[in-house]
Amino acid sequence: MDLKLKPFDFAQAATRAGMADVARRVEAKTRTDATGSSTGVQGASFQNAFSGALQSISAAQTKASTLQREVQFDNPTVSLEETMIAMQKAQLGFQSAVQVRNKLVQAYTDIMNMQV
């Protein structure tokens, strides 16, 4: 079985997932450097993209937690709607991270079970 892998565009995937800050960092790494040569997809490592995604998920969870605390203390500058939206964004980000982890574990298991 001949399997051809297409190059993966981390910037486009991060943009589709709503993580614009991660997309900008990945795009910056794939642009041409000062010498004029293109770093391409090789310059953007999976580790950097995944780490950036986890950091943005953590930031969303921290923001949601802070907003929840402010609503509980009856802070008039924080609305309930803003808090609920932040909570949903944090939940969606966490669920996405769990799904990515599950896919990675499944891929690792499949590779380890291959006969050579």
pLDDT digits (tens, 9 = 90+) for 96-107: 999 999 999 999
Residue 11, token pair as written in the block: 């910037």
How does the average pLDDT of the chain come out, rounded? Answer: 80
Residue 30 lies in a domain: no
Confidence tier at 1 by pLDDT (50, 70, 90): very low
Residue 82 included in any domain = yes
Which three-class secondary structure string do you get for the chain? CCCCCCCCCHHHHHHHCCCHHHHHHHHHHHCECCCCCECCHHHCCHHHHHHHHHHHHHHHHHHHHHHHHHHHCCCCCCCHHHHHHHHHHHHHHHHHHHHHHHHHHHHHHHHHCCCC
Confidence band for 89, pLDDT divided at 50, 70 and 90:
very high
Beta bridge partners of 38: 32
Closest CA to 13 of 88, 100, 89: 100
18 domain-assigned: no
Residue 82, CA atoms < 13 Å, CB-side half-sphere: 12
Query: Mind listing the pLDDT tens digit for each residue in 27-80?
Result: 666 564 444 555 455 556 888 888 999 999 999 999 999 999 999 999 999 999
Is residue 2 assigned to a domain?
no
Decide if 1 is inside a domain: no
Say if 26 falls within a structural domain.
Answer: no
Domain range for 80 is 44-112
What is the structure's pLDDT at 45?
Answer: 84
Predicted pLDDT at 97: 93
The closest alpha carbon to 14, from 61, 59, 48, 63, belongs to: 48
Flag whether 49 is in a domain.
yes
Q: Total domain count for the chain? A: 1
Would residue 92 count as lying in a domain? yes
